[in-house]
Amino acid sequence: MTKKIPAILILMTTFGILLGGCVQQNGTPNNNNTHPTNLTGVIYVGSTNANFSTIQEAIQAAKNGATIYIKNGVYNELLDVNKTLTLMGENKNTTILKFNPPSPSSQVPIININAPNCSIENLQITLSNKSVIAQGIIINTKNNTIRNTIVTNLAEGIDLSAYSDSNTIVYNQITNNLIGINGISSNHNNISHNTFSNNNQYNIYLSSNSDSNNVSFNTMKNATYGIRIKGSKDNIVFKNCITKTNIGLYCCCGASQNYFSNNTLIDNVQNAEENANLRNIWYINTTGNYWDTYNGSDANHDGIGDTPYTIPNAQNQDMYPLMAPPLDAPCNQ
């Protein structure tokens, strides 16, 4: 004898199927091609086994505080980061944001940070055509971090725009750009432990009241200027290694009260230059910098030269020149 299935069971089963069809995993587009929004946690970007195939789609879908994990691959995109997010690549050598501009006249940032407290990590940012005028990263806000990233083949590697304060730029490779880092009216930033090479004009350029920045433990070579400070004050330049530049350290155009100590300058055409009548300080406490062109003696063997090192073009001196590079300077590691 055939048993009848109660009508209430049929209704419950049908309702369950309909409800189940509405449930989606975090970040997975549904069947009608609409994208979820306000996603939290980790959102994956990649060609397979990912929530999205493009980074900008993930940014649009993410909620403040989310992490966007970008799998290995080459992404031809321009990014507008308008939320507090972490963009983390799988590997900086193989997770590549490589913009292919539609015309040589394009003037764009590849990553435009317009929200505070963002983090960019483990990416390579570059252009397919170096002749294009483009920035790798423009920071327009505060308290962002750029870490362990390669920025290469651009007009400006990282641009700190006006009032982009208290940002951290550490452990990056910034190479083959016109300018490595360009700071304009940007204060209290930490630029440390980066490697700069073959940036044609400047490795670091601080101008227009870019005050109270910390520039330390960087290595840099092969540029017109290692570090140029223009019209800015109270910056601390400490334990950097600067080699093979036309001018290693350059202060001009109203730059004053900047502090230089424990830097190593070797094999530059000119180690330093300062415009006349500026008041920069080329030592901190009783410790100056190592200049490979210093010819003074050290009679008491305390590691400090007995006579000052004169800064060219200035009525200024390093009163405590070092007889050898600091042991913990990055060029000694």
Domain ranges of the chain: 74-79+87-332
Question: Using CA atoms, how far apart are residues 57 and 40, in angstroms rounded to an integer?
Answer: 14
Going by C-alpha positions, the residue among 144, 151, 146, 100 that lies closest to residue 125 is 151
pLDDT of residue 107: 72
Cβ–Cβ contacts within 10 Å for residue 6, how many? 9
What letters, b where the CB count within 10 A reaches 16 and e where it falls short, cover 91-123? ebeebbbebebeeeeeeebbbbbebbebbbbbb
Going by C-alpha positions, the residue among 231, 322, 314, 225 that lies closest to residue 276 is 314
Mean pLDDT by 10 residues, the chain (333 residues): 41 36 35 67 96 97 98 96 98 95 74 98 90 88 98 96 97 97 98 97 97 98 98 98 98 97 98 94 97 97 97 92 94 80
CATH code reported for the domain at 74-79+87-332: 2.160.20.10
Q: What is the DSSP letter of 16?
A: H
Rg (CA), the chain: 26
pLDDT of residue 108: 85
Question: What sign for the dihedral angle of Cα 236, 157, 122, 145?
Answer: positive
Question: Using CA atoms, how far apart are residues 28 and 44, in angstroms rounded to an integer?
Answer: 10
